Amino acid sequence: MFRKKSSKSDLQTEYSCSIRFLDDSEPIQLSFKKDTIGQWLLERVCEKLNIVEKDYFGLRYVDSEKQRHWLDPIKTVYKQLKGVNPMVLCFRVKFYPAEPMKLHEEITRYFMFLQLRRDLHHGRLLCSPQDAILLAAYIVQSEVGDYDQEDHPPGYISEFKMLPKQNAKMEEQIMEMHKTLKGQVPSEAEGNFLRKGCTLDTYGVDPHQVKDSRGDQLYLGVTHQGIMTFRGSRRTQLFKWNQIRRLAYEGKMFIAHVNVTEDEETTSPKKKQQPIGYKCATTSACKYLWRCAVEQQLFFTLSSSINTPKVKSGGTLFSRGSKFRFSGRCQAEAYVASENIKRDEPNFARTSSLPNFARKHDKTALKDASITIDPPAREDLSKKYNAESSMTVRNPPSPPRAQATPPSVPIISVPDIVYPTTKDRVGESAVDVPRAYGSPPSPTSLVQSSPTVKAPLAQAEDVIEAGNQRLIQASTPIRKENGSAVSSALRNDNLDITLPYNPNMTQDDDDDDNQPRTSLDDQIKQLEDQYSKLQSEPNNVSGLPDGVAEQTKAGTTGKSTVAKGGKSGCATCCKALFISLFFVAILATVTFYILFYSEINHPVVNDLRKQTIFLEPVKAFVDDKITIIKKALK
């Protein structure tokens, strides 16, 4: 009723926002108007990336309170980004499909691969060390192609930052695993990466820091399966979507009403709803978690998005609460739409989104092979590697020997392929472009995913048992008999135990290596400036003895604190009293006017007039004053 209408000039005003991509390429600037909705902005980004299956993606931003949000497609961009400076949106995967290989187009699977690779780098995709090394090897195979001793000297894995706590030993294991993946083109390596990644417990988890009823810190994730919690390196709870009846939030408390069986020992169909609550850090974080959970539940459980009802929660006596309406297609509709795509596979260039990896990208489209880069760029890269390797003594090549395939490595059947020699591979590159139009498809093979375990988080039982045996062996003292040498020893770095789930919770997913760090000289200069500032203060007591100085500082601080606290408290009380008196005066004036000057004929009002007849002198006094004022104005 009191909303100000926007003029035509305001509606024509253009605003600009920056869009970041999954491959960390150069951001783009998009302009929008005051009445532009979020769906228009997302469609422009998908057109830029040539993505048709856009139901799985979204734009995310961080508000002024450092809280993440997904851009609502049906609300205006201006209203959502109001107060955000600078206006930066990140293109990310919003809904992780249960089976990513069901995606129709290779370019969609490639962006899904980029998101999972980012999750692995930031610690959100937690897995066992064996699986982490396998996934990292798939990334290297997609980036640089087949292993070659001349082009890939020792230490080339250090150019890639793929794991949260990557070290030299892990890089050596990744290199050995990379050697076993010879023959896989980038699309195959990325497909194997997706098949393995979607079987992990933390696949698709956007972690939210919460506390349970006991006050213990844990992470809560919302995926295609349901709502799950993680403590340490284990998944502690999993509530599937068919168990969850209602989602709500009240203040900082996120509440899920879950169907549980009354008697777990029997197969009774009787179930009851049990509310399970988790406390978030702030109210805005709780609201964001509630919106994410509701949106994920509707996307993965609805059979049709037509006439989707509004979901409301958080309302109290003094607040409206929050309403949410699902927009867009659900997963079932997205699968049907993907099957009806008629266009040919688009050409696209794969780029490296990993830091500390300098390589030029080529836009040339080739067939299902490693994409070529410019020969000068290849020569520069070879010179770089040769310069590094020339400083070390290179051993003569040893005869080839059979390598044992680890249990977690999928066995891939690849047809006979004639590989070019080193001289013929001058143009080979890490980037792959889809096949040209009309060319016959290259032979591919199916990859069987390795078995996984549900209870321990991405960790096999034999690994846990082996780790326990090693710990027991380490706790028992090693005995020597007759001066004989020790037959077995234990090294701490051989323990193959999954690290605790500790994802990177930075707001914009930036790498820690990219953050500017203060040099030692600057730190020393800052300390000197602080010391000189303390010396120049009027209350400086550095020249006094230690005991007197401490007493003087304590006394000064106490007086200033009391004075400030008393002044602030008095001002607050006076302000509250003034506001209360103001509203009381307004209420009394309105009541007086209704009783003595209005023509309202109501039993309640008539009774009040009879009871307040003693105020007639006041009415006469007011009438006289009004008459005097009217005469003065004339």
pLDDT score of 319? 59
Model pLDDT, residue 539: 52
Report the alpha-carbon distance of residue 68 to residue 380 in Å, rounded: 41
What pLDDT was estimated at residue 57? 96
Reported in sequence order, the residue ranges of 165-225 that DSSP labels E, i.e. its strands, are 208-211, 217-222
pLDDT in tens, 459-500: 333 433 444 444 344 444 444 443 333 333 333 344 345 666
Q: Name the DSSP letter for residue 476.
A: S
d(CA 567, CA 588): 32
The whole-model pTM stands at 0.60
Question: Which residue stretches of the chain have pLDDT < 70?
Answer: 1-11, 261-270, 314-321, 352-500, 502, 504-523, 537-569
Whole-number CA gyration radius for the chain: 34
Angle at 339 between CA 338 and CA 342, to 5 degrees: 90
Instruction: Count other Cβ atoms within 10 Å, centred on residue 203.
Output: 24
**Distance, CA of 375 to chain centre:** 38
**pLDDT confidence of residue 514:** 42
- CB-hemisphere CA count at 13 Å for 54? 19
Residue 256 makes CB contacts below 8 A (sequence gap 6+) with 227, 239, 244, 246, 247, 275, 276, 277, 293
pLDDT in the model for residue 223: 94
pLDDT at 620: 87
Q: What's the distance, Cα to Cα, between the start and end of the chain in Å? A: 37
Specify the DSSP class assigned to residue 398: P
Q: Which residues on neighbouring strands pair with residue 16, listed in sequence order? A: 31
Spatial contact of 241 and 258, defined as CB atoms under 8 Å apart: no
The Cα–Cα gap between 184 and 181 comes to: 6
All structural domains of the chain: 9-93 (3.10.20.90), 208-339 (2.30.29.30), 569-633 (no CATH)
Q: What is the pLDDT of residue 532?
A: 78
Q: How many helices (H) and strands (E) does the chain have?
A: 15, 14
pLDDT attached to residue 318: 55
66 to 90, 219, 284, 336, 402: CA distances (angstroms): 14, 18, 10, 38, 53
Cβ atoms of 356 and 159 closer than 8 Å: yes
Residue 42: other Cβ atoms inside 10 A:
22
- Residue 157 CA, chain-centre distance (Å), reads 26
